[in-house]
Structures are given as C-alpha cells and as structure tokens.
Amino acid sequence: VALSDAWKKGARHLDDQARRNLANDPRNLQAVDGRTNQSKGDSDASAWLPPNAGYHCDYVARQVEVKVEYRLWVTPEERDAMARVLSAC
C-alpha cells in the first residue's frame, strides 16, 4: 500500500507509532526496480497491478492484509479490483 494512498484512506488518523509500523511493515515493503516503483506511484489495486501477472494474487492479498491491520478503507473500485484478482487465485 503506497503510503500516500494509505494516508488518504485512513492512515492520517493513526497515531505516530502505528504510522511508523505501517511504513515499516514487511508486508508493505517490497524491493522492486525504479521503473516499476515509478509506474505504481500512489496507485491502488484498481489502477495498478505488478507487471508480473503471476504475482497479482500475492500482491493483492498483501494489500488486503495491510489495509485490514491498519484499518484503512478501500474505494468501491479498489474493492472490485481486489475481488476480481483474488477470485482467480
């Protein structure tokens, strides 16, 4: 979950420690090349998925875990995209 997306969807209401935990949560940290990171920007699952289609299930599952853990909300479009990806796993 991009930190700017998380901020828009509830992280701004977390206390400082919870925000640090979110920013450093291993489920939310993934080493990728610069081009992939730039293409993702602050997009959620409705606007961006990893170029490797074989990783879509893991990627979305991790996003769901993070959003649940930190009580971040999702837009209807994001929810539909997540459901579409996860239903094919």
Please give the mean pLDDT across all residues of the chain.
92
What local confidence, expressed as pLDDT, does residue 79 receive? 97
Ramachandran area for residue 2 (φ above 0: left; ψ -120 to 50: alpha; else beta):
beta
Instruction: Quote the domain boundaries for residue 30.
Output: 3-87
The structural domain count of the chain equals 1
Chunk the chain into consecutive blocks of 10 residues (it has 89) and report each block's average pLDDT, rounded to whole numbers.
Answer: 94 97 91 74 88 94 96 97 97
What local confidence, expressed as pLDDT, does residue 40 receive? 76
**Is residue 45 within 8 Å of 78, Cβ to Cβ?**
yes
CA 53 to CA 22: how far, in whole Å?
Answer: 25
